Structure 1
């Protein structure tokens, strides 16, 4: 369901930055080539600039960054070999930035293959590297640059993944946070409309949580939140998405579940919390609101319907599940579970 939205955004930023560097950096050399009468190399430089510029615009318009990045890396790799062949030793200097760019633009394995092809192709050019010593020095230096780039790319990706995980999750409960929920809701909405499959949202809030903090202290309140989070994980599927929205309020995104299934899940969680979560001798309960996604509505509207259903559960006495009215109408033809009508 995901789609790696954050990875795509990061990759797009790299593509745009790299494209800008290529256009700004190579265009003056292309102009110089034509002025110096080196038309063939000048045409090659312009072809590289044009291809890269077109790739950036296409990626920006379509949002497809992976193929564009691979195309850009391949084009620059081929181009630098041709420039080295046509321009002699001066053209070899372009190999080094291209090796670095490969590891920034494409996955490390693809970058390693492209870089190996570039190094091998240039090393075989006797017209550029005339002696065995020159070939050896070129091969050693370019392999070292590639190894450093590989390690840098690996470390950068690892650290970025860790930072994104920290930024997207609540440190106390391990649940995703409100910021991450916005992206998850949009992805779920797109999947639901594309696959014509239902998806639902539960919003639940622990009842009288302030009284727990006041009576037992905030550390005890934190332990209650952790207990609830662990319970939710035990009783939900891997594809369900669990969020802490703030304080004692949580959300659960449930793909593939119609209103009847959502109601059953909500009742299970509510009853499990009531029977299993304790703070001292005090029973912990929660109020749950649920809403099924209606195709065409906004993420804000969908979440707001679930919030209003949860507030209604609070007003009606807490420790209960309320189905959003819009979800009830959308599910008018669904078969209701026994006893559902009495509970709502």
Structure 2
């Protein structure tokens, strides 16, 4: 129950789709029963279909984590259902159009909502014009309905667009390091858990590298934090350029970063560490000269917890620091799979 509530708290779209499912059962199901009892078989069938399909979409969203396609499916379904209900019930069915407008702007992106809503309004108004008296008693009533519906759509669009924009900014603040643009510690914890579960269930190979800039404190002390910040931003750019698109870089704190590498074996992780070392040595410069990095790495296989995985990589990072920095230790020294790439010359910035 706690995990379910956490998912609802963290995922706005999932909470909306879930709420739609609850409302469809509580709000539409009684109408389906009443109209069946009243002999209105077609409308009762439409209501029942809406309830069942909504529940199926909610279950799909919970199982897969995909809220985009269920939202689009429900928007299309409810648009069609509203048209059928309005044309069968007449004026009494028009009240559901306002609910549909709000629903569309919350479950699908604003542009798609506009297209869906305008399409429904256009179809209903065209039906009202083609069949006078079926929906509207007069042209004035039709115009009033159209104007109020468009005003409702405008307010819903503004609210939904602004809300979506703010949620996106809040999500970035919660998951992205504002200085470097790398993902933050919170995102790293989530991604490592996903990687661990994928490895456990499907055997997907993962590796990670912990990268720590050498003598970075001296850069801040001698040239100021602004210069240090510029070095960190440049460092992230260089590392990303050396990585695959699927690799994920996280800022662990200060000058320490973690690189999560999916679909990799011992040789691949060693090659990536060596490429990063070489690129940093060649391309990263601070105000006092070249800046280097030390790296410790480990594969996920053979570890029973995420903490053990990180601890092993961290120990190898400290070993790389102790052996003179500007090198990578990915596997235990002395084994056949050990790798260490180092530069005999020290970085320009010394202790």
Same fold (TM over 0.5): yes
Match of 2:51 among 44, 49, 52: 49
Q: What does residue 207 of structure 1 align with?
A: 214
Offset at residue 110 of structure 1 (A): 4.2
Match of 2:141 among 134, 144, 147: 134
Aligned CA-pair RMSD: 4.0
Structure 2 SS opposite 1:173:
coil
Q: Structure 1 residues 32, 341: CA separation in 2 closer, same or farther (over 3 Å shift)?
A: closer
Alignment of 1:313 with 2:320, yes or no, is: yes
Structure 2 SS opposite 1:223:
helix
Structure 1 SS opposite 2:181:
coil
Q: Structure 1 residues 295, 78: CA separation in 2 closer, same or farther (over 3 Å shift)?
A: farther
Match of 1:13 among 9, 12, 15: 15
Which deviates further from its counterpart, 298-307 or 197-206?
298-307
8 Å contact from structure 1 (residues 193, 295) kept in 2? no
Q: What does residue 226 of structure 1 align with?
A: 233
- Map 1:56-95 onto structure 2 (within 5 A): 56-95=58-97
The Cα offsets for residues 175-234 of structure 1, whole Å up to 9 and x where unpaired, read as 221222234445666788999875432111123434544454434433332342233234
Alignment size in residue pairs:
330
Which deviates further from its counterpart, 242-251 or 270-279?
270-279
- Map 1:305-344 onto structure 2 (within 5 A): 305-325=312-332, 340=339
The Cα offsets for residues 267-292 of structure 1, whole Å up to 9 and x where unpaired, read as 34334445654555476433201223
In structure 1, distance between residues paired with 2:260 and 2:67: 28
Alignment of 1:269 with 2:271, yes or no, is: no
Q: What does residue 294 of structure 1 align with?
A: 301
TM-score w.r.t. the length of structure 1 is 0.76
Alignment of 1:249 with 2:251, yes or no, is: no
In structure 2, distance between residues paired with 1:158 and 1:324: 45
Match of 1:179 among 169, 174, 186: 186
The Cα offsets for residues 32-57 of structure 1, whole Å up to 9 and x where unpaired, read as 6678x475456654543344234323
Q: Structure 1 residues 256, 46: CA separation in 2 closer, same or farther (over 3 Å shift)?
A: closer
Alignment of 1:162 with 2:164, yes or no, is: no
8 Å contact from structure 2 (residues 207, 260) kept in 1? yes
Offset at residue 325 of structure 1 (A): 4.1
Structure 1 SS opposite 2:116:
helix
In structure 2, distance between residues paired with 1:276 and 1:50: 59
Ranges in structure 2 where 5+ consecutive residues have no aligned partner = 1-6, 344-351
Offset at residue 92 of structure 1 (A): 0.5
Offset at residue 312 of structure 1 (A): 2.6
Q: Structure 1 residues 221, 108: CA separation in 2 closer, same or farther (over 3 Å shift)?
A: closer
8 Å contact from structure 2 (residues 184, 250) kept in 1? yes
Q: Structure 1 residues 295, 85: CA separation in 2 closer, same or farther (over 3 Å shift)?
A: farther
In structure 2, distance between residues paired with 1:250 and 1:207: 12
Q: Structure 1 residues 45, 278: CA separation in 2 closer, same or farther (over 3 Å shift)?
A: closer
